A and B are shown apart, each in its own frame.
Chain A
Amino acid sequence: MAEPSWSNALEALADNKFVLGDQLVDVGISAPELASALAAVAMAQGELGHARHLYHWSHELQGISKEIRAESGKALSVLRHHENWIELMVSLLAVNVAARVLLERLRQLNEAMVVSKTAKMLVEMAEHITFAGEWCRRFRAETGAIPGLFQAALSRQSDAICAWLRAVDAEIGGGSDMDMANAFVREMEMVCGPVTVRHPA
C-alpha cells in the first residue's frame, strides 16, 4: 500500500491541478484560436477530475473522509495567476510532467492498487502534455517578444516545481533528493527544449 507519507505529496498535486483547472477556464478562453479555447475548457474538466481523484486518494491514505470544498492551500503560488496564454501553456505542461514523474515514482512500489488508481489519469495527462508541448514548441520558434516571454515563464515555473519535487523527495526519503527534480527537467527538455533551472546552493 502507498505509504501515508505520500499523502501530502498527493494532496499538494491535487491542489496544483485544482488551481490549474480554474486558470484553464479563466485564461484559456482568451486562447489565440477557438479550437484551443475549447480544448482548454475541456482540459480544465480533466484537471479538476484529476484533483478530485487525488484528494480522495490522499484522504484514504490518511484514513479520513472529508468533503472537498476548496483546495487545501498547498498549491504553488506561480500557478494561481497567469497573465497570458503563453504562461498558461507552460504551467499546463510543467504540472502534468511533474505529476507524471511523481506518479511513475509511486508506481515503482509495484502495487496493484497504485497501478489501477493511476492508469487512466496517466493516459489523460499524456494528452494534456502533448497539447501544451506543441504550443511550447511553437512559442520557442516564434519571432518577436514571444520566445523571451516563453523562456521567462518556463524558468519561473520549472524553478517552483523543482523546489516542490525536491521537498517531496526529502519528505518521502528513500533516494537522492534530486531524483524527481532531475527527472522532471529531463522530461521537460525532451518535450520543449532546454530548461534553465536554479539549483539549490
Chain B
Amino acid sequence: MSTSVEYRAYAVFARSQRGGPLYQIGFVEAFSDALAKTYANLTYDEENWFELCVVPLDELRWVIEPQGVSAKGESGRGGAIVEQRAGSAG
C-alpha cells in the first residue's frame, strides 16, 4: 500500500448506561471516519454500550491541557519544571 494515504488517530469514548459518565476507553487509527467507527465497534466490544463515539485527536480543542511532569518533550509539556530545576541549581 502507498504511504500517501493519511491516517488519523481517534479517541474512543463510551457510555455504559443512560445518564452515566462518558469515558475515553481507548484509541484507534484509521484512514477514514467510517473505518474508525467500525474499528471502534469491533475492537471495544467488551460491553453492550449505550453510546460509543470516536473523535479525531486533531479535532479536540483543549480548554485545560494537562502539563507533563517529565523533561520537556515535543509538545513543550513539562518545560516549566525543567526550567525551575535549572534556576534553583544555578
On whether the two chains bind one another, the answer is yes
- Which chain B residue shows the least CB distance to A142? B2
Q: Distance (Å) between the CB of B28 and the closest chain A CB?
A: 6
Q: Mark A157-175, 1 if CB is under 8 A from B, else 0.
A: 0000000000000000000
> Beyond A32-B1, A143-B2, A146-B1, is A138–B42 a contact (Cβ under 8 Å)?
no
Residues of A within 8 A of B42 (CB): 38-39, 42-43, 127
Within 8 A of A (CB), among B25-56: 28-32, 34-35, 37-39, 41-43, 45
Chain A contact surface mostly: helix
Q: Mark B1-28, 1 if CB is under 8 A from A, else 0.
A: 1101100000000000000000000001
Chain B contact surface mostly: mixed
Residues of A within 8 A of B37 (CB): 130
Q: Mark A9-52, 1 if CB is under 8 A from B, else 0.
A: 00000000000000000000000100100110011000000000
Q: Distance (Å) between the CB of A138 and the closest chain B CB?
A: 7
Q: Distance (Å) between the CB of A71 and the closest chain B CB?
A: 25
Query: Would you call B34 and A134 a contact (CB within 8 A)?
Result: yes
Interface size for B (C-beta < 8 A) is 18
Query: Would you call A35 and B2 a contact (CB within 8 A)?
Result: no
Bound Cα distance from A131 to B38, whole angstroms: 7
- Which chain A residue shows the least CB distance to B37? A130
Most buried by A among B5, B37, B42: B42
Q: Distance (Å) between the CB of B15 and the closest chain A CB?
A: 20
Bound Cα distance from A172 to B37, whole angstroms: 38
Partner of B5, one of A133, A138, A144: A138
